[in-house]
Chains A and B, each alone.
Chain A
C-alpha cells in the first residue's frame, strides 16, 4: 500500500514538470507537445496506482512515511481515492484532446503558454485536493483549483462575454471560499484539530451541527451547481475554452459533491428533514435544469444546464442516503450514496465526452448556435456516432452507463418505501415519477440537439468538417467507458461498494448494491445488441433480395424543399416551452407576413431562467446599488487601498489581542 502511495507522489511530481518545460522550451508547438506528453505519462502512472490502491486497500491509510518522513497531511481513504480515480480517468482523454485543441490556436499565432500553466496547475491541485487530510491544505488546493480554472477560462479575454461570464464564476468562488473558511474554522473550534480524520460531530451537538450543514450545503452546493445557486454554470461554461469547460463540468463541479460527502462523514447521522431538504432541492434542480436546457440553443449553455440536471440526480441519491442515515438503515444508505457515487463517475465521463464533442463542432463551424448547424452526419459519421453514445448515456437510457446509476437510485426509492413503510411509499412514488419525468425531458432535449445538429441537411454551408486523430482518440476512450460501464457494471459496483464500506456504513455491511441482479441486466443488454445485429443482417439480406434505392423526401408534391424549411430547434421545443411559460419566462415575437403579396415576416423566441432573471439578478442589482453607497471611498490611487488594508488589519489585530 505504502509503495503505491509513493508512486502517486511521483505521479504528481511528473505532472508538475511541464511548468518548467513551458518556461524552458522556446517553440510553442514543442512546448505544448512536451507538456501534454509528460502530463499524460504522469496521469497514467497516477491512475494506475490509484486503481491498484483502491482495489487492494482494505482500510484507510492515515499516516505513512514518504522518503522516511512521517506524514499526516494526506489521507488515502477509499472516498478520496475514488474521486482521484474519476479525476485522472477524465483528465487523460481531456489532456489528449487539449493537445489537438491548443494546436489550432498555435497555428493562429496565439500564445498558449499561460493556458498550459493554468491547465497543469488545475490538474495537480484538483488531484491533491481530494487527498488532503488537512483543512488548510484543502483550502489552498481549493483556491488554486478555482483560480487556475478562472485564469484558464479568460483565454479569449478580449471578448466582452468572456469577461462578464467569467466574472460570475470569480464572484461565486469568493463566496464559496469565504463560507468554507467559516466552515473549517467552526469545525476546528469544535474538534480542536485541523485534520479531516479528527472531525466528527453528531446531531446531539445542537445548533452548530445545523449551522455547519447549512454552510456546507451552500458552499459545496454552489460549487456543484444546485438550483438556486446554479447561476454561474450557464454563464461560465459557454465562454471557457472547451478543455476548461469539459474539466469544469466533468470534474470541478464534482468537487462540490466530494465536499458534501465529506461533510456527511464528519457530521452524521443526519436528521431526517435534512435528507428531505437535499432531496427536494435536488429534484427541483433536476427538473428545472433539464427544462431550461431544452429551451437553449447554445450547445455549451445547454450542456451546462444539463450539468445542473445531473447534479440534481446525484443530489437525489445523497438525499436518500441522508434519510437512510437518519433511520440507521444500511440498505437505504448504500443504494442512495452508491447511486450518487456511480452517477458522479458516469456524469464525469459522458459530460466531458459531450463537451469535447461540442468543442470539435465549434472549432469546425465557428458557432455554438445549434440553429445554424445540420447535416453533419454526412460529414463525420463516426464523430456523430460517438456523440450519440454520450447522448444516449446522459439520457439514462439502457444499455449505457447512465441507466445503471439511475437504476440504483430507483432501487433506492423502492427500498426506502419498503423499509420505512408508513407514508413513505407515496413520497417515494412521487420521487420516482419526478425522476421519470426528468428522463422524459432529457430524451426530448437530446433528441433535439442531435437531430438539429447532425441530421437533415446543412442549414448553413459547412466549409470543412475535420476531426483529428487526437480528438477521435479522446472521444473514443470516453465513449467506450460509457459502453463498458453499461454492459459490465460489476467491477465498478464493486469499487463503489468498497468506498461505501470504508466510511459510510459499518465495515462489510453493505450488500444491497451487490444484491441487484447485475449479471442478468448485462445479459439482457447483450441480447439487445445481438438482436439488433441479427435483425439488421436479415434486413440487409432482404434488401439485397428486393432492392433498395434512394429518392428525395416526400414533400406532398412540392419539389423545392430547401434546408431552411426543416424543423428547427425552437419549433421542436416549442410545445414543451409553451407549457412551462411561467417557469421559463418564454416569450415569442411573431410578425406575420401581411397583404396579398407578403414581403417580410419574422419570428423570434426567447427563454430565460425564472430563478436567474427574476430572483438572482434583481438581488445582485440591489446588492450592487447598496454597495455603491460607499463609492465615495473609491480612489484612483492604489496607495489608498493599501492604506485601507493596513487599517483593517490593525483593527483585527487589536480585537484579537483584546479577545485573548
Chain B
C-alpha cells in the first residue's frame, strides 16, 4: 500500500515537472490564435529550454555567489512545492498535517533568493523588478490564505490533499463560495506567475516589467533554470485551480484524468483570453487589484458563514 502511494506521488510529481512547459505553450498557442496568428507549436517551450541548455553562461561582473545559487534554489523549491500538489486522486509525495503553510513558505524561499539575485547585479533595471516583486508579494500572500486557507478552516483540515478532498458540491452556498474562491486563486495565479494584467511575460524592454526584468542579466543554464521554474510555477497555480473540480473524479482513474485535462485546457483558454483582451495595469494600480481579490475573498467567506 505504502509503495503504491509512493509510486503515485512520484508519478504525479513527474507529470507536473514534464507537462509544465506544455501548459505555457498551450496558453501561447491559444493567444496566437486569438490574435489571428498561427503561432508557435505547443511544444515550443521545450525547444526553447533545450536551446538555452546549450548556451554559454554569461554572468555580470558585479554578480556574486547569490546569482549562481538562486536559479538552483528556485527550481528545487518550486519542485518541492509541486510535490505537495494532488493530481487527480493520487496522494501527493509530500502530504502531512500543515503542508498548506509549508507550501506558501517554501515558495517564499524561492522569492527571497530571486529578489536577492536580481539585486545582485547592481543595475537599477533589476532593482526595479525586485522592488516590485517584493511589494506585490506582500499583497499576494494574504490572497492565498484567504482562499485556500478559508477552505481549510471550513473543513478543519490542514493538508492540501485533504483540503481539496473536503470540497463537496452538494450545497448551493458552498458551490458559490468555491466559485468565488477559484476567481481569487485565478487572480493570485496571474500575479504570482507574472501574467497579464499584472506583468507582461513577453517583454522586459519597458521599465514596467517584473519577472522578466529580474532575470535580464541571466543566460545559459541559469536562464534555463529560471524559465523552467517559472513554467512549473504557472502549472502549479493551474493545478491549484483545477483541483477544485476534484469531487467529480474521486476514485475513478480515467474520469479523473479526463477532468484534469479538460479543466486544464479550459483554464489555459481563459488565461489566453484574459491576456488577449486586457492590457497591463499601471504599476500603482496593482496593489488595488490584489486588494480587490483579497476583498472578494473576505466577503465571500463572510457571506458563506452567514448563509450556512
Q: Residues on A close to B: CB < 8 A?
A: 374-375, 377-378, 381, 384-385, 392, 395-399, 403, 407, 410-411, 414, 417-418, 423, 425-426, 428-429, 432-433, 436-437, 439-441, 443-444, 446-448, 450-452, 454-457, 515-517, 520-521, 524, 527-528, 531-532, 535-536, 539, 542-543, 546-556, 561, 563, 565-567, 571-576, 578-579
Contact = CB atoms under 8 A, between A and B. Distances in A.
B48 interface: no
Contact of A447 (B61, B130, B287): B130
Given A403-B105, A414-B152, A554-B125, A448 B134 contact: yes
B293 to A, nearest CB: 13
Interface string B64-96: 111001011101110110000000000000101
Given A398-B106, A554-B125, A535 B72 contact: yes
Interface string B112-145: 1001100111111111101110110111111011
Contact of A429 (B71, B124, B135, B153): B153
Given A532-B76, A567-B128, A447 B53 contact: no
Contacts of B279: none
Contact of B149 (A397, A429, A542): A429
B125 A381 contact: no
Contacts of B137: 440, 443-444
B94 A524 contact: yes
Contacts of A553: 60-62, 121-123, 217
Contacts of A396: 105
A528 B123 contact: no
B170 interface: no
B59 interface: yes
A130 B57 CA distance: 57
Given A374-B122, A407-B98, A392 B109 contact: yes
Classify the interface of chain B: helix, strand, loop or mixed: helix
Contacts of A566: 122-124, 127
Contacts of A454: 64
A543 B222 CA distance: 10
A384 B120 CA distance: 13
B156 interface: yes
A399 B221 CA distance: 25
B53 to A, nearest CB: 7
B65 A565 contact: no
B146 interface: yes
Contacts of B130: 447, 451, 567, 572
B145 A433 contact: yes
B278 to A, nearest CB: 22
A576 B287 CA distance: 10
B141 A517 contact: no
**What 9 A-B pairs have minimum CB-CB distances, sorted nearest first?**
A567-B127, A456-B122, A451-B119, A440-B138, A444-B134, A547-B56, A425-B153, A531-B76, A553-B60
A641 B53 CA distance: 82
Given A536-B69, A579-B287, A561 B123 contact: yes
11 contacts: A377-B120, A392-B109, A437-B141, A443-B115, A451-B120, A532-B73, A532-B76, A535-B72, A539-B225, A553-B60, A553-B61
Given A455-B119, A455-B122, A414 B153 contact: yes
Contacts of B80: 524, 527-528, 531
A447 B225 contact: no
Contact of B123 (A395, A417, A554): A554
B120 A443 contact: no
B56 A548 contact: yes
Contacts of B132: 575
Contacts of B277: none
B58 A550 contact: yes
A539 B72 contact: yes
Given A455-B116, A456-B120, A566-B123, A532 B72 contact: yes
B120 A441 contact: no
Looking at A398, A432, A440, the one whose CB has the most chain B CB atoms below 10 A away is A440
A567 B125 CA distance: 8
A648 to B, nearest CB: 54
Given A426-B301, A428-B153, A520-B96, A574 B131 contact: yes
A433 B66 CA distance: 30
A553 B60 CA distance: 5
B281 to A, nearest CB: 14
A75 to B, nearest CB: 35
A595 B73 CA distance: 48
